Structure 1
Amino acid sequence: MTHEQFEVLSNQAVAACAAAYFLAFLAHLGQWAAGRRAEPVEVAREREAVTVGAGAPTAGRAAAAPVTDEPERMLLLGRVGVAVTVVAAAVHFVAVLTRGLAADPVRVPWGNMYEFTLTGTFFVVLGYLLLYKRFGLSWLSPVVTGFVLVILMVDVLALYEPVVPLQDSLQSPWLVIHVVAAVIATAAFTIGGMCSVLYLVKSRWEQRTDAAGRTRGGYLARLPELAVLDRIAYRTHAFGFPIWTFAALITGPIWAHYAWGRYWGWDPKEVWAFITWVVYAAYLHARATSGWKGSSAAVIALVGLATLWFNFVGINFFFGSGSQHSYAVPEPTAVVLRLDG
């Protein structure tokens, strides 16, 4: 295949995986809609305990339906959604791979914001799938698929650039090491941030429903307990932090020295990468030494996520030529007017 054909294939794969993510998103919406009227397992067990404690007849208890966590229809739609997500991730990987093969000469597929976003969303999905069984992440499925679908749409509509060779500053093996580490850490922080958002939403929802005396039900009632959400968020952030340290404070300066002849130059992206590191270091330190958990920890984690995404998006668009990392911004097209006569 020619380089042009690989570029077309990559674009087609992006469209195909986006369609698959949309179908997976619909399946997971159907999954949680099917469980909307079903009684959450915690409520059902509390009701059963009250009935038993009240001296209900043994025969009546034996005839009662068993307490199950999810209805059969809900389980089926969940399995379909995950299966479609796996297919979408495979097509997504093809889109990333062929993007690199489309360049002449062949290169790594993260030379600009479009390609970094394409690769980053793939790692978010990959991380979610790898952690799915370990943490039982069925409750995170609609959030992940919806997030990736929206980001891919923005990536194609606002950030797309034709395939071009790498700039001189990117011609380094440290590009591969630095960016791969940064993408993995970004994916971990993003998944942890999703858990932190759900923690804050569920915490607020529980306070309101308890104050109003309403019965808990729906999607939020089927989320894990607040302590579980807090623990998963902490573990994903703890996983991503040393990788971000390696990417931002070790391989980044080495690559900067290779490309520009200095390890640190107070470039806006370097500064914000360090700010992101400080915020996440504060989050982990507060959890380990001061016992900060729950809402306070979740807020700090989301501040870190905000600095992370501002470093990725904001630096390139708001600082422009003020950053040596502005190669990620599409180059403006010069228009030359020729006046004859």
Structure 2
Amino acid sequence: MLVELATFSDRLFVAAAGIYALAMIFHAVEFAAGRAKVPVLVGAAEADDAPAGEPVRNRPERFGRMAVALTVLGAALQLASIATRGIAAERWPMGNMYEFIAAICLAAVVTWLVVLRRSPVVRPAGPFVLFPVLVLMALAGSVLYAPAGPVVPPLRSYWMSIHVSTISISSGLLIFSGVASLLFLLRRSGWLDPVAEKLPAADALDRLAYRVTIVAFPLFTFAIITGAIWAEAAWGRFWGWDPKETVAFVSWVIYAAYLHARATAGWRTGRAAWVNVAGFATIIFNLFFINMVVAGLHSYAGVG
């Protein structure tokens, strides 16, 4: 039964990735056609089959709405995949890189859906948000895949559900924030004008990156603190400058600098965005290079 449930979880993961890919294509169709126009009220002369006073949406906007609906479906499938994985493994489902990345991707997608709910105007950024999610999921489902099963003794602690969950959620948020800052810099620079001019307004992207980081930074701080507490219980010390701990601390300093820069005159826009991109780079570096190349106390698990 548990083996069948683990297989079902894997299939849900693949299905979620396929749905995200289709959503990205629909977002790309909307993006290629230009920014969706605000629905206008039309009369009988403009739409014979639409009652007067009802909004008529153009085709690109319909693709954008379908993309959002598909993203919601993909997120539901991915959540089900993570839940069934945990039941099959009989533990918290974040004990290896495959599960860790799945949680990060879900956090990024849910963040995107929440942002769309509050600010639909940023929907043209959809292809750029879903693309890194698909890349991460492709890596997780191939070279980083691990069968459902028990974890090594140091990970058999209630701290795993606390620390790894918060580091996953905050990492997903920070990846989303980093993408927003990259798009802001692209929009502001005017480089690749045919593409940049179809992105949301630079101010909207900048505010989006800042607001998401405001939410993510306390979570990231809490994750580092709980990681230190767990390290003391597992290894007898709160902090040992392990490679993963060191890079996480560097990330924390960079994001603290970003939030400070956003409140400093002269750094509020372009310069602050570059600081945020630097933080984004350290998150990706820690996620892959430190976990997969550098040997350390975290190497056995591949998680924070």
Aligned residue identity for 2:300: Y
Deviations 1:133-192 (A, max 9, x none): 212231221122222222111111110111220211111111111111111111111111
Q: Is the 8 A contact 1:230 1:293 kept in 2?
A: no
What is the aligned-residue RMSD (CA, Å)? 2.1
Rounded to whole Å, the distance in 2 between the matches of 1:138 and 1:185 is 22
Is 1:159 aligned to 2:134, yes or no? no
Question: Which residues of structure 2 form unaligned runs of 5+?
Answer: 39-44, 46-55
Where 1:292 maps in the other structure, the secondary structure is: coil
What's 1:45 paired with? none
Aligned residue identity for 1:94: A
Rounded to whole Å, the distance in 2 between the matches of 1:263 and 1:71 is 57
Q: CA deviation at 1:329?
A: 4.9
Rounded to whole Å, the distance in 2 between the matches of 1:89 and 1:224 is 24
Q: Is the 8 A contact 2:103 2:169 kept in 1?
A: no
Is 1:224 aligned to 2:210, yes or no? no
Is 1:99 aligned to 2:85, yes or no? yes
Rounded to whole Å, the distance in 2 between the matches of 1:223 and 1:315 is 33
Q: Is the 8 A contact 2:125 2:200 kept in 1?
A: no
What's 2:115 paired with? 131
Rounded to whole Å, the distance in 2 between the matches of 1:328 and 1:144 is 27
Rounded to whole Å, the distance in 2 between the matches of 1:144 and 1:244 is 21
Q: CA deviation at 1:33?
A: 2.4
Is 1:301 aligned to 2:276, yes or no? yes
What's 2:211 paired with? 235
Which of 278, 284, 294 matches 1:319?
A: 294
- TM-score, normalised to structure 2, is 0.88
What's 1:195 paired with? 180
Q: CA deviation at 1:317?
A: 2.0
- TM-score, normalised to structure 1, is 0.79
Is 1:108 aligned to 2:92, yes or no? yes
Rounded to whole Å, the distance in 2 between the matches of 1:225 and 1:79 is 20
Rounded to whole Å, the distance in 1 between the matches of 2:235 and 2:150 is 19
Q: Is the 8 A contact 1:195 1:233 kept in 2?
A: yes
Deviations 1:74-124 (A, max 9, x none): 111111111111111111111111111121xx1011101111001110111
> Which structure has the larger Rg?
1
Rounded to whole Å, the distance in 1 between the matches of 2:269 and 2:85 is 41
Rounded to whole Å, the distance in 1 between the matches of 2:266 and 2:233 is 41
Q: CA deviation at 1:291?
A: 4.5
What's 1:78 paired with? 64
Which of 95, 98, 101 matches 1:117?
A: 101
Aligned residue identity for 1:7: A
